[in-house]
Amino acid sequence: MRIIARRTLKVFWEEHRTAEQTLKSWYREAAQADWESPADIKRRYRHASFIKGNRFVFNIGGNKYRLIVHVNYDFRILYIRFVGAHAEYDRIDPEQI
């Protein structure tokens, strides 16, 4: 999968060092994946949540952080829509971000 924009993740982990290794690991796995449907993602990340608009919410760092991506299955692209602490996630609408 092609991931847009890695820089968003990097900026976040530079400020939240405890998220760095988990985000890097997720990035490597997602970049090598070839997801064709939500079921493919759920097979690998069973705690990820599928939400409206082809979006997935991933639990990062033992659920301390949340990552929202929009998935374009046809073009094999993941768009980073949000990365933040769980408390920040609680203040947003994940279907609108």
Phi/psi of residue 56, each to 5°?
Answer: -125, 145
Tokens 């079921």 found at: 39
- Asked whether the beta carbons of 83 and 23 are under 8 A apart, the reply is yes
What value does the mean pLDDT take over residues 1-28?
95
Is the confidence at residue 26, as pLDDT, over 90? yes
**Mind listing the pLDDT tens digit for each residue in 65-97?**
999 999 999 999 999 999 999 899 989 988 888
Is the preceding peptide bond at 19 cis, omega within 30 degrees of 0? Answer: no
pTM comes to 0.92
For residue 46, is it left (φ>0), alpha (ψ between -120 and 50) or beta?
A: alpha
Is the confidence at residue 57, as pLDDT, over 90? yes
What value does the mean pLDDT take over residues 6-10?
94
Q: Which structural domains are found in the chain, ordered by start?
A: 2-89 (3.30.2310)
